[in-house]
Structure formats: C-alpha cells, structure tokens
Structure 1
Amino acid sequence: MVDPLAEVVTLLRPGAPYSKVVSGAGQWSVRRSEYGRPFFCVILDGSCRLSVDGQEPILLKGGDFALIPSAHDFTMSSLEVAATGDAISPVASLLNGEIRHGLQNCPPDIRFLVGYCVFGSPDAALLVSLLPQLIHIRDDSRLATLVQLVSDESRARRPARDVILERLLEVLLIEALRSSARTAASPGLLRGLADERLTLAIRAIHESPGRRWTVADLSKQAGLSRSSFFDRFQRLIGLAPMEYLLAWRMAMAKDMLRRREAGVAAVAERVGYGSASAFSVAFTRHVGLPPAHYAQKQLELQ
C-alpha cells in the first residue's frame, strides 16, 4: 500500500544541520522573524510559551517537540512574561556554548534545543504547503525516546557529537511529522490523513497519480457525497481535491525530471496527461519553465 506521508517526506528530504542549546532564567522573551524558514524546538527541561502569529499560544513542557514548517513571526518567552507582556530581554552567550535568555548568574529554569531545518527538495515550498502551520507533539513514547537521545547528545562533548546530533534531529523531524497526523490542528496533509474517509481518497491519488481522477471518483473512494467530500477535503487539507492532485502530480514530475528518470513523454503519462504537449502546457503554467528546460536547468545545478 502506498504511504502518502512517506512519499512527501522522501521528496521533501528534511535535514537539521543547524541547532543550538538555549537556556532561560527569570523573565525573558524573544521574538523572531524567519522569512519562511523551517524552525524546530525540543524542550529538554522546564517550560515556556510559544506564540506563532495567527495561532493560539501554546505551553511547551519538558519532552515536547514543536515544528513550524514555514516560520515567519513567532515569540518564545518565560511563562511570567507571557502573562505580563513585559519587554524583550537581552541575550548573552555563555562560556559553555549555550545561549542564555533573562537572568545570567543563576541556574536556568529551562533548557531547550532550537534550530532551523532544511528541506533538500527545490520544490519544498509546494510540499510544505501540504503540512500544518504548526506541529506540536507531547506524550508520545517514541518521540520521548528520541528527545532523550537528543538531550543526552547535546549535553555531551563526545567525538562526532554534531554529526550524531544532526542525524538524530533528522529522525526526530520525520517521527514528528508521522506522529502529528493524529494531532494536527491546522489544515494540511497530516490532518487529512488522520480522517478515516479522506485518507482513502488521498491514498488512491498516491497509488494511481496517472489516473484521470474527478471529484466524483474521489468522493466514491472516500464513501462520501460529492459535495460533502469537496467541503471536507478543502476544510481539512486547505486545498480543493483537484488542486491537491495537481500539486502532487507536479511535485512528482519535477522529481522525475530532476533525476532524469524518464523523458517528457513518459513523465507526462505517469502523472496523468494524455499527451506530452498537454503536460508541457500545464507544467509551464505551474512551474514557469517548460519540462525540458526545467530538466536541463536542474542538470546544470548539479
């Protein structure tokens, strides 16, 4: 059986090469603007507040994991500052390599690992649009084990520490995406996969992307009326069914062209177009380059 999430993760190619340990004491608050970069946070000890613009603030506790696939403006703060709205605190770098927020000369109230992940796919923006705006995982035994390994490695000064930490964070990111299928609050593919009806239609798309799907066909896969299926799909995933189908077909086509897996005509057939010319028109409208030019450009970039 085709696994839609595995396919998205495979194309997305997540990695976590940039991370740092941060601690806080007393009252502190830091606001960031990240211009769409993926941001993650692992709470090692203590608790704090995370406020993402457009989302309700959330409490982060020890063992929690938070991922913002496309971060813009967000604030992290101590619980006291979150309640009083006090000013942003100064930041100082400590001798042990940690970044300290708030009071400098006392034990920390919280320690967390933060960083920016990278998505290796040049089509990352399209794929990220299929994910929730905020992923928050708590009380997950598998994730807790990974968080503990990350915590142990971040405290140690063993050889190859940074390499091991990067690999652990990559696994943590993928596990978080998988786990959040049960808890995703904002629209996206993960929320759709958690719906027992919609997941049938999504799996059908991924199993047969070249089939000439209609909304009526997909609604039958889900066992819903056409109108109920359309409304439910758009509400939970954030895209209309045909928009999702087009996005996935174009992501597949770009990946095949990039890897030179097949010629334009073969790619067109595999993603559901009756002719290379029809595919070329759709691809050019969606990507901004004809398929052959896109493949050549990717080859030059390698």
Structure 2
Amino acid sequence: MTDPLAEVVTLLQPSASFSKLASAAGPWRVTRSDAGRPFYCAVLEGRCRLTVGDQPSIILEQGDFVLLPSANDFTMSSLEPPPAGEPTGHLELGPRHYRHGRPDGPADARMAVGYCAFGSTDAALLLSLLPRFIHVRGQARLATLVELVDEEARADRPARDVILAHLLEILLIEALRALPGASTTPGLIRGLADERLATVLRRLHEHPTRPWTVPELAKEAGLSRSVFFERFRRVVGVAPMEYLLAWRMALAKDMLRRADGGVAEVAERVGYASASTFTIAFSRHVGVPPGKYARGA
C-alpha cells in the first residue's frame, strides 16, 4: 500500500546542512532569523524556552523534540531569559559544540540542534502539506535519531551523505507520525489522521493517473459529495482536485528533474491522455513548459 507521508518526505530530498551540540547555564538567549531553513532541536537534558515568531512561548523539557519545517524568526532561551538587549555569552567548546550563557560550571540544559535542507524544486508545495510547527514529547527514538544525525554529520566516513539523507528521512517521518492528528494545522498529517480521508489520500497516491472525480472520491470515503468536499478542504487545506493536481505536478517535476522519460512519457505516468494537455496544465501550474523545465533542472 502506498504511504503518502513517506512519498512526500522522500520527494523533499532532505540533507543535513549543519548540526551541533549546545549546552547552556544561567541566563541566555539565542535568536535566529533563517528565512525558511528547516530547524530541529532535541532536548537531551534540562529545560529551555522556545518562542516561534509572534506565538506564545513554550517550555521544552528533556525528551522533547521540535521541528520547524520552514523556520523563520525564533528564539531559544533559559526559562528566565536575560533582560531585552543584554548580550549573553556564546563560547565554542569544540567542533560543533557551543556553550550559551555562563561559561563555567554545570550545564542547566543540553540540546542537539541543527538545520537541514530540502533538495526538491517543489519543496514549497510539499511543505505546505506539512504542519508549520511540530512539537513531540516523550519520544526517545527522536532524540536517538538526532544524535545519530549529529554523529554522522561530524564524521568523514564513506557514504556519509547517503546515510545522512536516509537518517533525515526517518527523522522527519518519525516526528510527523508521532503527532496527534487532531491538533495539527490543516494538511496531509491531519488528513491521514481522519480515517475516511486517509483512505482517499492513499487512493490518490496509489493511482495518480486515474481520472478521479469528486463523486468517485466521495464514494471511496463513504460520504456524500458535499460533505466529503467540505471535509477534505477543511482538514487537508485544499480542495480534492487541487490536491490531486499538486501531487501530479510534484511527481512530474521530479521525473523531469531526473530525466526519467520524455514529456509524453511523463504525461502518461501522471495521468494525462496527451502530451499537449499535460504541457498546458504543467505550464499553467509551474510557469514554464515541461521541456524547458527539464532542460533547466
């Protein structure tokens, strides 16, 4: 059976761009503005405070894992941060090992943190299917995975990049499937937590070439057409046919980027009866014809 979540994460093509071990003591604060870079943090010991954008701050505890698939402004600090504008010390203890706040004495908190990058040219679309903020508590497997990512990122061993890519795929999937679906923002995760919509999402991913209609999808869900349409749009965040189009285009862009078949073959493999129909749809959705996209990929 096709797994939509695994497909989306695989298409994102995650890679590790930076990881580090951070310890902290006393009053401290770290503020970042990273223009959409995916950020993760596992609290290995102690507690700290996290504030994302203008959202209320949350307290992170030992065993907590946080993933921001598209991080912008965020701040991490001690539970009682220093006064605004007051500088705090940041000391490099060793390769990718930093100390925040008081430079000596025992640490109040230890964290494994890092950034990853997504190689997909359709990352913005795929990320729109995922929650904007992921906070998982009490999942020791996630902290172990982060430590493995950090260890591999520091090492210079054969097949390092391949191992890192697979570890990050596992890390993302593990974090996403640990979420309680009802509490997430509209998107794929929330859709998969809805038993009736999960059936439809799996059908769409299993058979993207099928000429689906809303009545057919409603029948798969066991709902009336109007109830299904409204429920899908509310839970997933887009209308059913919009989701199908977006998924077909994501698949097509991946095939074209990898030179996996010509335009006519790609058109057939994503559910279009002719290359011309596919070209029109692709050009409208992406902004350039598929042939030109393939040459520039």
Output the TM-score relative to the length of structure 2.
0.87
The AA in structure 2 aligned to 1:209 is: P
Residue 258 to residue 275, structure 1, CA distance change in 2 (3 Å): same
RMSD: 2.8
State the Cα distance separating 1:294 from its structure 2 match. 1.0
Tell me, in whole angstroms, the C-alpha distance in 1 between the residues paired with 2:252 and 2:205.
13
2:112 is equivalent to residue 96 of structure 1: no
Tell me, in whole angstroms, the C-alpha distance in 1 between the residues paired with 2:77 and 2:275.
54
Partner in structure 1 of residue 41 of structure 2:
41
State the Cα distance separating 1:215 from its structure 2 match. 2.1
Partner in structure 1 of residue 261 of structure 2:
262
Q: How do 1:53-92 and structure 2 match up within 5 A?
A: 53=53, 55-81=55-81, 86-87=84-85, 89-92=87-90
State the Cα distance separating 1:150 from its structure 2 match. 5.9
* Deviation >6 Å, runs of 4+: none
Partner in structure 2 of residue 31 of structure 1:
31
Residue 282 to residue 145, structure 1, CA distance change in 2 (3 Å): same
SS in 2 for 1:235: helix
2:271 is equivalent to residue 272 of structure 1: yes
Q: Is the 8 A contact 1:22 1:114 kept in 2?
A: yes
Partner in structure 2 of residue 119 of structure 1:
118
The AA in structure 2 aligned to 1:197 is: R
The AA in structure 2 aligned to 1:234 is: R
State the Cα distance separating 1:216 from its structure 2 match. 2.1
The AA in structure 2 aligned to 1:66 is: V
Partner in structure 1 of residue 250 of structure 2:
251
State the Cα distance separating 1:201 from its structure 2 match. 0.8
The AA in structure 1 aligned to 2:90 is: A
Q: Which is worse superposed, 241-250 or 228-237?
A: 228-237
Q: Is the 8 A contact 1:29 1:88 kept in 2?
A: no
Q: Is the 8 A contact 1:187 1:235 kept in 2?
A: yes
Q: Is the 8 A contact 1:44 1:147 kept in 2?
A: no
Give ranges in structure 1 of 5+ residues lacking alignment: none
Render the CA deviation track for 1:219-276: whole Å, top value 9, x for unaligned.
2211222232222222222222222111100000111112222221222222222221
Tell me, in whole angstroms, the C-alpha distance in 1 between the residues paired with 2:228 and 2:87.
49
Q: How do 1:1-302 and structure 2 match up within 5 A?
A: 1-53=1-53, 55-81=55-81, 86-87=84-85, 89-97=87-95, 98-147=97-146, 149=148, 153=151, 160=157, 163=160, 166=164, 168-169=167-168, 171-180=170-179, 182=181, 185-298=184-297
Q: Percent identity?
A: 59
Q: Is the 8 A contact 1:184 1:190 kept in 2?
A: no
State the Cα distance separating 1:134 from its structure 2 match. 0.8
State the Cα distance separating 1:144 from its structure 2 match. 4.7
The AA in structure 2 aligned to 1:134 is: F
State the Cα distance separating 1:86 from its structure 2 match. 4.3
SS in 1 for 2:179: helix
Tell me, in whole angstroms, the C-alpha distance in 1 between the residues paired with 2:232 and 2:103.
50
Tell me, in whole angstroms, the C-alpha distance in 2 between the residues paired with 1:56 and 1:116.
23
The AA in structure 2 aligned to 1:275 is: S
Tell me, in whole angstroms, the C-alpha distance in 2 between the residues paired with 1:231 and 1:70.
27
Render the CA deviation track for 1:3-37: whole Å, top value 9, x for unaligned.
11111122111122311112221222222111111
Tell me, in whole angstroms, the C-alpha distance in 2 between the residues paired with 1:17 and 1:183.
32
SS in 2 for 1:180: coil
The AA in structure 1 aligned to 2:229 is: F
Q: Is the 8 A contact 2:200 2:221 kept in 1?
A: yes
State the Cα distance separating 1:289 from its structure 2 match. 1.1
Render the CA deviation track for 1:80-126: whole Å, top value 9, x for unaligned.
23xx9744642422333422222223322111121110112122111
Tell me, in whole angstroms, the C-alpha distance in 2 between the residues paired with 1:36 and 1:239.
22
SS in 2 for 1:197: helix
Q: Is the 8 A contact 1:143 1:175 kept in 2?
A: yes
